[in-house]
Structure formats: structure tokens, C-alpha cells
Structure 1
């Protein structure tokens, strides 16, 4: 069985770190710029509009903006590119002068495993026989791997977390890739650099998340 058949939920979010004016990012403003449809703005699930925090849900995405963090997420795989395009539309077209210092493209892939697959994955990542002297039936709950030097000449890091899924029943797991980028010179850099990275690196980020999952699945099958 292919690992894609085990995938139950695919969540993607984009996080920007910079200097923002939250009150600007209201649904009505997005609609007025043609970034979302007017009927989407009218039917939005509005949680909070405040000068320091704006939070609401569209049918296909949720947004949260503070003075130093812009966050957008979708749990609908068909809208992954839509959240990227919305961010590009906002900052590449209308808010070009907004200072942005860092970018996170995060992929949270929820897989439903059998008990045997769940145990085998933990054993491949952290050999369970290392604990036989202390425990009778150990299980791995959380594995975190950090690569502090990016492989694409950008500044930043990769972080992968593998944990039990909070959205699936027993033996569900999350493979979470935090694909992080930051400016090499935050004093002199412009938001255009970060937005260009988002535009240029989107496909490779998605590919890496899927490749990691497929690699780990092959380990389970061995």
C-alpha cells in the first residue's frame, strides 16, 4: 500500500514574521482588492477584529494577524495553492512596503496507521530494544529532527516532528515539516526577498514534505 492511501488530513500553513497593522486585513479589505469574493467576505466566520489582533475563518482558510505575525492555514488540500496566492496577492501587489523578516511554510500530514505500522515506525526511528532493560513494552511518542543549515542557500532551517495525531483515532500520526526561512541581513533586507522565496520555494517545500513521508513509510515496510 502506498503512503498516500494512509493520508487522512493534510494541513498547510504559512507564517510571516514582520511588522503588520492587523486591522487592515479585514475580510472587507480583501474583497475590495479582489483577493477574495464579496460573498466570501459576507459569510466569513468572524472571531475577533481588534487593532492588535484579527482572527477569522473563510470556508477554505483561517487567518490570524497580530502586529508581528501573519498566519494563514488551510486543511483542504485543494486550497494549498490558494493560501499561497492570497499571501502573494496581499504583499506582492498591495502591501509592498510591509517589513517581513521570516517565513515558515508548514506541512502537517496526518496518517492513519495500523498498530503494527505505528510500532514499527517508532522502532525504525528510535530502536525500542534500547529500552528493554527498563521497560516491557515501550512506545515512541515524539521524534524531532533539526537541520540547522538549509540545502538551498537560503538562510533558515528544517525541523521535522513526528507525533501522535490529535485528529485521528488510535495509531494516527502527524509528520510535521517546518520549512523555515529568514533574511540573512534582517536590518537591510526587504519584504520582497521573503515573498520571492515563498513564490519560488512553494513547490519544493510541498515535495520535501511528501518525500519525507514516503521515505519513512519505506522504512516501516522493511
Structure 2
């Protein structure tokens, strides 16, 4: 079975100072952010001074006093950055914003635990761990909670992350990539990419629309970069499968 991308999704996170109670479906309708029908059909989870969360046919939003999370529910990335731009650039232009996170998450399936283990060995070699590392490579005991086949090892890589401070696009922030065994698709790999941007305070006379204007096309470029990470990891697993397993 070839290496297969199973799931990809993304989340837009904005850090600032917010009043969760105002973020309700009909307020979004009153600001021309969604249609009346979408507001009527919205599924409200909670509305409270400390947290508001609801879901429409196209996105899910959770608002806390210092954090807003937006998740597109249709196709990855469709309109979610534009929604944030209209929400905070047009409707709430004076709301203090401090940071923006463009998070990409994906799961891809591999053909066997051997491939998954070999990929983990590349990312985190066991030799530096000495005798304990040798024990990790032993077969998992029968009845072990992690055992799914005779190829299951006693242990190994559970999570690894790499962070690069300073950005190639010269924006303030960092990029962090995390890799773990997929808990959903076994055997498989989970990849999470966080593109973090520190937002500059508006210059006198400016508002949030100016902040978003300076960000430019960071949303599209961040998603493109994130996908390139996943494609590279999938290619590596395909090479492992072809040459070493």
C-alpha cells in the first residue's frame, strides 16, 4: 500500500483581548459576516463571558478572553483568513491583537509498522540511548497496550518537534513542526505545523486592517510551506518502503 494522505485540516488562532459574549451567530449576521440562514442554523455550544463557541456550515469558532480559534469546515483554508480580516479589520478594528497562528495538521498512513519505525529511527536514532535504546527496539510484549502486530516495538519515538526562530518572509515569529505516530491511522504519522506571527502594534492613526495588510499573503504561503513539509515526510517514508523494508 502506498503512503497515503488521509486527513488535513487547519486552524487560525488569534491572540489578543476579546469579549467572548458578543461573538454570537446573529452578531456575525448583523455585521454581514454570514447570511441569516447560516446564523439561524448555527449550532451554539456555549455563550458565556469567559468563552463562546459555535459552529456554522462553513466554520467553527471558539472565543476566550485572550484567544480566538477559527476552523474552516469546508475545504482547507477556504475564506477563513478573509473572515478574520473582515472580523477584526472591518468590524472590530480597534480590538488589541498580539499574535497570529496558522496551524496545519495532517495524518498520513504508511504500509507497515516497519516503515513507521524506520522513519522514527531517522528522526530519533536509538544508539545515543545506549542499552535502553536497544530495549526500545525489542518486540512489544504480548498483551502490551501499544501492540497491534508482531512488528510493534517495545517503545520508540512518541513526539518530536523542531522550531526555527526568525522567518524567511522577514515577519516576526517562528515556525514549529511536530511529528508523532498517528493515533487515528495506524500505522501512520501525524504532522502539525505552527506558523506563528508576532503582530506589530498599529502606528498612530492605523487600525487592525493595517496590521493584516502588512501580513500580505502569509496565509497561503504558510499552508503551502506546511504541505511541503508533509510531502517531504511522505516521500521519505516511500523511499524507506522501497529501499529498506
Q: Which one of 78, 83, 89 corresponds to residue 81 of structure 1?
A: 78
Q: Which one of 62, 67, 70 corresponds to residue 68 of structure 2?
A: 70
TM-score, structure 2 normalization: 0.79
1:160 aligns with 2:158: no
Equivalenced residue count is 218
For residues 68 and 211 of structure 2, the distance between their equivalents in structure 1, rounded to whole angstroms, comes to 13
Give the gaps of 5 or more residues in structure 1.
none
Q: Give 1:104 deviation, angstroms.
A: 0.3
For residues 41 and 123 of structure 2, the distance between their equivalents in structure 1, rounded to whole angstroms, comes to 45
Contact 2:107 2:185 in 1 (8 A): no
Contact 2:10 2:76 in 1 (8 A): no
Give the gaps of 5 or more residues in structure 2.
138-154, 241-245
Distance verdict in 2 for CA 1:101–1:112, change over 3 Å: same
For residues 202 and 178 of structure 2, the distance between their equivalents in structure 1, rounded to whole angstroms, comes to 27
Q: Which one of 93, 97, 103 corresponds to residue 96 of structure 1?
A: 93
Larger Rg: 2
SS at match of 1:62: strand
- The alignment yields a C-alpha RMSD, in angstroms, of 2.4
For residues 111 and 104 of structure 1, the distance between their equivalents in structure 2, rounded to whole angstroms, comes to 23
For residues 199 and 15 of structure 1, the distance between their equivalents in structure 2, rounded to whole angstroms, comes to 17
Contact 1:101 1:183 in 2 (8 A): yes
Equivalent position of 1:200 in the other structure: 217
Structure 1 segments, 4+ long, off by >4 Å, are 184-190
